Amino acid sequence: MKGSEFLRKVKRIGHKRGIEVRFEAKRGKGSRDTLFLEFTNNCPGSEERTSGGNCSCDAAATRPYGKGPRIEDQIMRTFVYPATLRPEKRGGFTVQFPDLPEAITSGKNRTDALLQAVDCLEEAIAGRVADGLDVPVPTVARRSHVQVALPAPMAAKAALYLAIQESGFTNSELGRKLGLDEKEVRRMLDPRHSTRLSRIQAALDFLGKRLVVSMDNAA
């Protein structure tokens, strides 16, 4: 399937499920295509919009090297984190995430280090969600950083985790609002449990959030 055909198909699926899909062509160091998720607040008064209405209050998801609005002023939250790759004397690279001190890994070469970085980031975010800890907002990347995207399934769970924290609902309260058992809500947040994206989307919709799917070139 050609890239353009794939994007059209993804957009059609997203439209049916109420998920905004946007392609952003960017070039960074190296290049592997990756699909990542962002989530954002719905527009004010979104509950009153008719179906098919457009939302015009979205803000840019990221900003280049210190330019543009402050990240805390932005509506949209991404799960793409800056990382440092440090060459080792005996070969290979060590990878660290400034926003996640516990996330440290290494690889035998640059390509392997970047692959390990994705796994390391996923484990770090999964651990924070499981332990009820803070999931930090990614800091602005410096020119020396590479950016690592959290895999989409974990990004969706992290988005729901943050939305629930912001709402003040307990899992039991949210379950009752959604007509679900409390165990089902816990499963939606469980990094080890596979959850349909449509179910997470429904919960986010109730909480006044939405998922935005973007595709970028991996570092």
Q: Please name each of the domains of the chain with its CATH number.
A: 28-46+57-218 (3.30.160.250)
Predicted local distance difference test score (pLDDT) of residue 43: 41
Q: Which residues pair with 148 in a beta bridge?
A: 81
Predicted local distance difference test score (pLDDT) of residue 210: 83
Question: Average pLDDT of 179-205?
Answer: 91
In the chain the first and final C-alpha atoms are separated, in Å, by 23
Q: Higher-confidence residue: 4 or 124?
A: 124
Predicted local distance difference test score (pLDDT) of residue 212: 83
Q: Is the pLDDT of residue 185 over 60?
A: yes
Half-sphere exposure of residue 195: CA atoms within 13 angstroms, side-chain side: 26
Alpha-carbon span 101 to 80, nearest angstrom: 16
- How confident is the prediction for the chain on average, in pLDDT? 76
Three-state SS for 26-41 is CCECECEEEEEEEEEE
Predicted local distance difference test score (pLDDT) of residue 32: 47
Q: Which of 47-56, 127-136, 182-191, 196-205 has the lowest mean pLDDT?
A: 47-56
